[in-house]
Amino acid sequence: MRIREAAISDINTLAQIHVASWQTSYRGIMPDELLDNLSVKQFEQIWYNNLHNRDRVNLVCQVEDQVVGWASLGVNRDDDTSLSTKELYGIYLFPNQYRRGYGSALWEAVLQICVAQSATRITLWVLYNNVNARRFYEQMGCSLEEGVIKEVERFGVVIPEVRYSRVIVGDAT
């Protein structure tokens, strides 16, 4: 397994991971009709834009010659955070790759980038009802910020998200 920066040649795989993970992880949280009709093509355009955004760092987890997951982080988009706070935009894996340590490896790589960029804190938003993701981030040392919740619109569906955060220390472990 290796973690590396995402490349333009990864766009289709990044989009496939994004769609497959949403369809599995958000089942019961978002409408089935929406999940069943997600388009890899639509997510390819999102990833094209992500990879051309200089404010983002996009990582992939590669096992042998297959990309199995990704993480994306960058400038924090919340008004109540300092400039030294980074935001994790997401960690996603192909569903058949869950619970193999790849998400944790991506998380550790994200923390190392935060240290290298002199970040003092990282935040992330998680769907309120996504119990598995919330548990994962708690296991990674993140804490729920009580009362910090927002309603977001995703493909026409409004859903609540909660914010988690973690203080970054010198060695990020």
In a domain, 172, yes or no: no
In a domain, 73, yes or no: yes
| Residue 129: pLDDT over 90 | yes
Q: List Cβ neighbours of 17 (8 Å cut-off, separation of 6 or more).
A: 67, 68, 69, 70, 92, 93, 94
Range of the domain at 156: 2-167
Task: Give me the helix-helix angle, 40-51 and 11-25, nearest 10°.
Answer: 120
The pLDDT of residue 48 is 98
In a domain, 151, yes or no: yes
| Residue 146: pLDDT over 80 | yes
In a domain, 76, yes or no: yes
pLDDT, average across residues 102-116: 97
CATH number for 150: 3.40.630.30
In a domain, 137, yes or no: yes
In a domain, 173, yes or no: no
In a domain, 57, yes or no: yes
**Bridging pattern class, strands 121-127 and 85-93:** parallel
The pLDDT of residue 172 is 47
The pLDDT of residue 169 is 77
- Cα–Cα dist 35/62, whole Å: 26
Total of domains in the chain: 1
| Residue 170: pLDDT over 80 | no
Q: Average pLDDT of the chain?
A: 96
Q: Residues 59, 14: contact at Cβ < 8 Å? A: no
Structure tokens that stand for 33 in this block: 């009709």
Whole-structure pTM value: 0.94
